[in-house]
Amino acid sequence: MPAETQTVLLIGLDGFGRNHLRNLHRLAETGAAELIAGVSLSDPGPEVRGDIPVYQTLAEAREAGHRPDIVIVSTPINTHYELASQALAMGADVLVEKPPTATLQQFTDLLAEAERSGRRVQVGFQSIGSHALPAIEKLLASGRIGQLRAVAASGLWLRREAYYQRAPWAGKRVLNGVQVVDGVVTNPLAHAVKTALHIAGAKELDDVAELSCELYHAHRIEADDTSVVQLRTTAGIPVTAALTLCAPEEQDPWITIAGTEGEAILYYTRDELHIRPNRETPRDNPAQSEPEVLHFGRTNLLENLIEVRTGAAEQLLSPLADHGAYMRVLEAVRTGEDPQQIEEQHLLYADEGDQRHPIIPHIETFIARAVRAPSSYSSLGAPWAKEPATSGELAVSTDSARRVVAALRTGEDISPTDSPRPFLDEVRTLGGVIVSDQQPLDHTWHLGVGVALQDVNGNNFWGGRTYTRDAGRYIWRADHGRITTVTENLEPTEAGETLVQQLEWIDATGQPILREERTVATSPSDTSGDRATPQQAWALDFSFALTPARDEPVSLGSPGSNGRVRGGYGGFFWRLPAVEDALILTADAEGEEAVHGSLTDWLAISGEFTPLPSRHGAGGPATLLFLRGDGLGLGTARRTTDELAAGTDAASGNPDPWFVRYSGYPGIGMSLAWDTAVVTQPGETVQRSVRVLVADGRMSAEQITAWAQAARQTDTRPILDNPRRGTVR
């Protein structure tokens, strides 16, 4: 045996221990290591382990005189701390499988014991040995994808019933009073979480500033098999892990490294890095704008430990101290609420017997949205998840029943870069067809039905990137504001409800910049046959008034006012779900391009709506008719607070062009600042209103036109006649 050969004792010869045995046989051939003994309750036999003695306990091995240089702990999570402590007491360095311990207290105790003993502890997160990780550091330093702004882990695996039948501890949180914590976050896809944390710079305990998690299970187990972890590092980088063991088919997990000028995708199981810079980013070297795929090797962590011991390497790649942030995640999972069971009605099943496994429909989409936003399953409205943060619901009373037609979302659970704000969610027809969407993959900052502006004195209240005149393109900036609810009053009316909200627009520095009064009213729509309306319809009257919060003017702008031609979105906006075979119509034109930017009295969209699954509705045919506020007694352009309190009508009406998208994504709005910013002075109020009629069923152009003409003749003024109007101040 060469002088530098390290003696090794392996605890756990079966299961994952067989991987260690193969690696030790490889290292023995090079003279780097010699396996001298094993500790295992299950002996795989000499043909697997070789000619070494096997003991039932580590104490027996020590009594037999074994003093290894290195002890490998490859046993269930709940045994890691005790065995690693015993190994340190023997004077050995330790390679302990992930996670290092079952509790945060055990982790801090083990850190202290390692320091007192002067021994090394390497943690077996093998992905940390990937050579892709230093390459990612160099990529970020080069600026090729800009500055790091978020990291996310996506995991779509499946586990069969046999997986949870293989051992008594499998799928347990606690077994016989002992902490096990065998869930998707802490065992099968723990590498995904740890690798994301490593890239985000979250290693030690103090690197985590905020942390939350949602835990679910579809398998009949105690632990989680479908979860979302959200945290923010002390450096301000959001890290999200959206994971499941209930995918329809298994995929290689990946880490998304989002930069301000592009992104990189790391498939850590195969050490493959995909670099995708933004093509629109100006570059001296055009080749740097092209996507690139790079392949890397990795350093074996046992080999790294051996090299540190012999002086061939300076430091451990995965030292115990570098796993404090991950242990914060494990502790949140361990001490959090028990995972919520996903009900059978939300599941599909594949295969039979011990190969049977549950499938969560559309889980791929929910995971994609969760990491892109970033968001949680509940915030995204997954039908099997917890209810999102709401303050109530809107309903309409008909002859048959009171029917809920929308949820009032507070927006508190929305990502800061998506400009959190209140909005109407899961807006639906009386027949239950969902006609709104929120946090979609293409624009995660699109939030149902509400009010948003991209440029308010340089603050982004729309979300996402900001279009600037200087750059001539969209760029990521730390300019996101948020809209918070100050007061809210929801009162029933004879046939619907009226919501009055006092809102405050908080700028990127945390100071109020605007005050808003928003009024939303629901009522049944006229469904008489002679007016060609469908059998089921209801009306949404939506009005908002914006007043400067400080004694200074406020500019209300958009990409259009900042130079983006025909991109003047902002103000009232309704994000639609996918719509198939849509008819988009005004009195004068048909089709997206023809109606976009027009100033017609009304605009309609009719088609087959196909939203994601929801607990409150489904897809189906529907028609939405948008009516400009002026002419209905609903809209004024700008008034002083005194005029508003006196109820004085303004003659200028509603000057906002329709903003229409369909081919890229489906959405309809009214552009408050189409190509010119609206500047409001202290004491002035900018007010806009719109009525939307929501109907079941598809309609022809002739039916829509007749319906719109009849609706324009209806004199309804529920918003401006509200006695609370005038409280904006």
**Residue 274 included in any domain:** yes
Tell me the CA distances in angstroms from 241 to 230, 234, 253, one per residue in order: 7, 17, 11
**Residue 429 included in any domain:** no
Please tell me the distance from the alpha carbon of residue 341 to that of residue 29, in angstroms, as a whole number. 49
**Residue 415 included in any domain:** no
Q: What is the DSSP letter of 324?
A: H
Q: How far apart are the first and last CA of the chain?
A: 85
Alpha helices in 573-691 (DSSP H): 592-595, 641-646
Co-location of 107 and 134 in the same domain: no
pLDDT at residue 527 tops 70: no
Strands, E assignment, 268-321: 272-277, 292-295
Would you state the pLDDT for residue 79?
Answer: 95
Q: What is the mean pLDDT of residues 348-353?
A: 97
Give the global pTM.
0.92
Residue 351, domain CATH: 3.30.360.10
Residue type, 405: V
Would you state the pLDDT for residue 725?
Answer: 35
Please tell me the distance from the alpha carbon of residue 447 to that of residue 449, in angstroms, as a whole number. 6
Tell me the CA distances in angstroms from 77 to 56, 71, 113, 502, 535, one per residue in order: 18, 16, 18, 51, 61
pLDDT at residue 221 tops 80: yes
Tokens 């995918």 belong to residue: 247
Co-location of 210 and 341 in the same domain: yes
| Element of type H or E holding 212 | strand 208-217
Please tell me the distance from the alpha carbon of residue 165 to that of residue 572, in angstroms, as a whole number. 54
Q: What is the mean pLDDT of residues 124-146?
A: 97
pLDDT at residue 399 tops 90: no
The answer to whether 414 and 420 are in contact (CB under 8 A) is yes
Percent of the chain with pLDDT over 90: 86
When divided into structural domains, the chain yields a total of 3
Q: What is the mean pLDDT of residues 273-293?
A: 78
Would you state the pLDDT for residue 535?
Answer: 62
Q: What b/e sequence results for 536-551 when a residue is b if at least 16 CB atoms lie within 10 Å of its CB, and e otherwise?
A: bbbbbbbbbbbbbbee
pLDDT at residue 686 tops 80: yes
Co-location of 551 and 591 in the same domain: yes
- Written as six digits, the tokens of 535 are 């059998």
Please tell me the distance from the alpha carbon of residue 472 to that of residue 460, in angstroms, as a whole number. 16
**Residue 724 included in any domain:** no
| Angle formed by the axes of helices 190-199 and 132-142, nearest 10° | 30
Find residue 71's DSSP bridge partners: 9, 94
Percent of the chain with pLDDT over 70: 91
- Written as six digits, the tokens of 577 are 């779900």
Co-location of 592 and 505 in the same domain: yes
Co-location of 567 and 508 in the same domain: yes
Residue 68, domain CATH: 3.40.50.720
Decide which of 717 and 713 is more confident. Answer: 713
The answer to whether 694 and 578 are in contact (CB under 8 A) is no
> What would the pLDDT profile of 284-300 be if each residue is shown by its tens digit?
565 567 889 999 999 99
Co-location of 72 and 166 in the same domain: no
Would you state the pLDDT for residue 47?
Answer: 77
Looking at 82, 104, 124, the residue that finishes a domain is 124
Q: What is the mean pLDDT of residues 60-65?
A: 96
Residue type, 359: I
Please tell me the distance from the alpha carbon of residue 241 to that of residue 202, in angstroms, as a whole number. 14
pLDDT at residue 538 tops 70: yes
Mean per-residue pLDDT of the chain: 92
**Which SS3 state, helix, strand or coil, does residue 700 take?**
coil
**Residue 77 included in any domain:** yes
Please tell me the distance from the alpha carbon of residue 206 to that of residue 234, in angstroms, as a whole number. 8
- Written as six digits, the tokens of 248 are 């329809």
Least confident of 62-71, 400-409, 446-455, 644-653: 644-653
pLDDT at residue 649 tops 90: no
**Residue 512 included in any domain:** yes
Would you state the pLDDT for residue 283?
Answer: 62
pLDDT at residue 393 tops 50: yes
Please tell me the distance from the alpha carbon of residue 548 to that of residue 505, in angstroms, as a whole number. 10
Co-location of 32 and 135 in the same domain: no
> What would the pLDDT profile of 607-636 be if each residue is shown by its tens digit?
999 999 998 989 999 999 999 986 444 444
Alpha helices in 160-223 (DSSP H): 161-165, 190-199
- Written as six digits, the tokens of 685 are 């109020």
- In residues, how long is the chain? 729
How many CB atoms are located within 10 Å of the residue 504 CB?
Answer: 15
Would you state the pLDDT for residue 483?
Answer: 98
pLDDT at residue 687 tops 50: yes
Please tell me the distance from the alpha carbon of residue 445 to that of residue 614, in angstroms, as a whole number. 19
Long-range contacts from 591-596, C-beta under 8 angstroms, 24+ separation: 592/660, 592/661, 592/662, 592/663, 595/658, 595/660, 596/566, 596/658, 596/659, 596/660, 596/661
The answer to whether 119 and 92 are in contact (CB under 8 A) is yes
- Written as six digits, the tokens of 38 are 């094993």
Q: How far is CA 216 from the centre of its chain?
A: 16
pLDDT at residue 318 tops 70: yes
Phi, psi of 176 (to 5 degrees): 55, 40
Q: What is the mean pLDDT of residues 179-185?
A: 95
Please tell me the distance from the alpha carbon of residue 18 to that of residue 153, in angstroms, as a whole number. 28
Phi, psi of 159 (to 5 degrees): -130, 135
Co-location of 113 and 175 in the same domain: no
The answer to whether 705 and 494 are in contact (CB under 8 A) is no
Supply the range of the domain harboring residue 10.
6-124
The radius of gyration of the chain from alpha carbons, rounded to an integer in Å, stands at 30
Please tell me the distance from the alpha carbon of residue 427 to that of residue 692, in angstroms, as a whole number. 11
**Residue 408 included in any domain:** no
Please tell me the distance from the alpha carbon of residue 73 to that of residue 121, in angstroms, as a whole number. 11
Co-location of 220 and 358 in the same domain: yes
Closest CA to 239 of 140, 362, 153: 153
Please tell me the distance from the alpha carbon of residue 20 to that of residue 73, in angstroms, as a whole number. 10
Please tell me the distance from the alpha carbon of residue 134 to that of residue 299, in angstroms, as a whole number. 12
The answer to whether 687 and 636 are in contact (CB under 8 A) is yes
Would you state the pLDDT for residue 528?
Answer: 46
Would you state the pLDDT for residue 401?
Answer: 85
The answer to whether 643 and 424 are in contact (CB under 8 A) is no
Long-range contacts from 292-298, C-beta under 8 angstroms, 24+ separation: 294/132, 294/135, 295/270, 295/271, 296/130, 296/131, 296/132, 296/135, 296/271, 296/272, 297/131, 297/271, 298/126, 298/127, 298/129, 298/130, 298/131, 298/132, 298/271
Q: Does residue 238 have a cis peptide bond before it, meaning omega lies within 30 degrees of 0?
A: no
Looking at 313, 347, 368, the residue that finishes a domain is 368
The answer to whether 686 and 680 are in contact (CB under 8 A) is yes
CA atoms within 13 A on the CB side of 670: 29
> What would the pLDDT profile of 369-384 be if each residue is shown by its tens digit?
999 999 999 999 999 9
Co-location of 138 and 266 in the same domain: yes
- Written as six digits, the tokens of 371 are 């990491």
Co-location of 456 and 536 in the same domain: yes
pLDDT at residue 73 tops 70: yes
Looking at 312, 341, 368, the residue that finishes a domain is 368
Burial tier of 583 (Cβ tally within 10 Å: 0-12, 13-18, 19+): middle
Please tell me the distance from the alpha carbon of residue 64 to that of residue 443, in angstroms, as a whole number. 65
Q: What b/e sequence results for 473-484 when a residue is b if at least 16 CB atoms lie within 10 Å of its CB, and e otherwise?
A: bbbbbebbbbbe
Co-location of 84 and 212 in the same domain: no
**Residue 416 included in any domain:** no
